[in-house]
A = this chain, B = another copy of it.
Amino acid sequence: MAERANIGILGASGYTGSELLRLLLRHPRIDIALLTADRRAGQTMRDVFPQFSPYALPRLVAIDDLDWPSTGVDLVFCALPHGTTQTVIDALLTAAPHVKVVDLSADFRLFDADAYARWYGHAHRAEALQREAVYGLVEVYREKIKGARLVANPGCYTTCAQLPLLPLIRAGAIAVDEIVIDAKSGVTGAGRAAKEANLFTEVSEGFHAYGVGHHRHMAELDQEFSKAAGRPVVPTFTPHLVPMNRGILSTIYVRGSAGQGAEELHAILVDAYADEPFVHVLPFGEMPQTRHVRGSNMTFIGVAKDRVAGRAIIGSALDNLAKGASGQAVQNMNLMLGYPETLGLEQVALFP
């Protein structure tokens, strides 16, 4: 393992790109060697994100202008839109096979070619890489990630729902056919693209559900829940938009399996995450708030008894840009480069 590594960020003009840069600028063992942003090529980071004005950084370039081997990068974060990503990474790994990649898009999260085609409406364009990719939910796939060349960083909603549910499903502690996930996300989850629906005036002072019954993140939940249960699991999942920048809270309604009360579910989670640096289970009955993990790589999980006998209510909160995207991506990078897993990720939550 190298003492230091050269890092590239593809798609540095979006929010997951800027969040990666925020974290990496203070990481002690990396250098920022490459920043791309096709439509802003030639500009500086301060032109697209003025908060980086005080820092010396490479100028933004276009991906098509790159000669991969000569960039000298050891690892690349790919924060590009779905669809184009698979083509870009395929080209990159063909030209420079030794480069490691953490992909933040959805392109390599589904390992089943049919499931991919069904949810995305076209055959995958890099099927060999799809088979090679490791799903980057660190708390589950840590060992595989250490040896991976291509890691598919999980989605924000799915990380938030999987962390509390996977240990319970694996333990057979809940009725897997009755899982209801009512999820609420801040607006950064929608990215930086200029859309009417995401204007301040359309989002502030209001609340609504979207994508009811057909959100693509469901595919990822189905895959991982089914794998954990050993049989098909199809949860109910409804995302909502909260007038705030960062944060996801999932309120999850479950029924305990034969005899498992809320206290037992809590105990399973406490046990599962006792040694995890970035998953914190609150005392029984306490519920998490998104503001208490803002800007940090933490996930806070709470379990409470429902008044309906046999049912429990689980809360799970993370920062969608940090543990839900760029923070977990850096966590993956640390593992892939053989660094301590928490390096550069120790930042305490910013509240208020």
Q: Please give the residue numbers on chain A whose beta carbons come within 8 Å of chain B beta carbons, in ascending order.
A: 15, 18, 21-22, 25-26, 49-55, 178, 180, 182, 184, 186-188, 190, 192-196, 198-210, 212-214, 218, 234-236, 238, 240, 242-247, 249, 251, 253, 280, 282, 285-296, 298, 300, 304-308, 311, 313, 315, 317, 321, 346-352
Q: How many copies does the complex hold?
A: 4
- Determine whether the beta carbon of B201 is less than 8 Å from that of A199: no
- Determine whether the beta carbon of A51 is less than 8 Å from that of B199: no
- Determine whether the beta carbon of A247 is less than 8 Å from that of B206: yes
Residue numbers in B under 8 Å from A315 (CB-CB)? 208-209, 212
- Determine whether the beta carbon of A53 is less than 8 Å from that of B300: yes
Residue numbers in B under 8 Å from A311 (CB-CB)? 236
Roughly how many angstroms separate A352 CA and B321 CA in the complex, as a whole number? Answer: 9
Which of B182, B245, B349 is in CB contact (< 8 Å) with A204? B245
Residue numbers in B under 8 Å from A286 (CB-CB)? 50
Q: Can you list 14 residue pairs at the A/B interface with Cβ under 8 Å?
A: A51-B349, A182-B182, A187-B199, A188-B201, A194-B195, A200-B243, A205-B247, A206-B291, A208-B315, A208-B317, A209-B287, A209-B313, A212-B285, A212-B287
- Determine whether the beta carbon of A205 is less than 8 Å from that of B245: yes
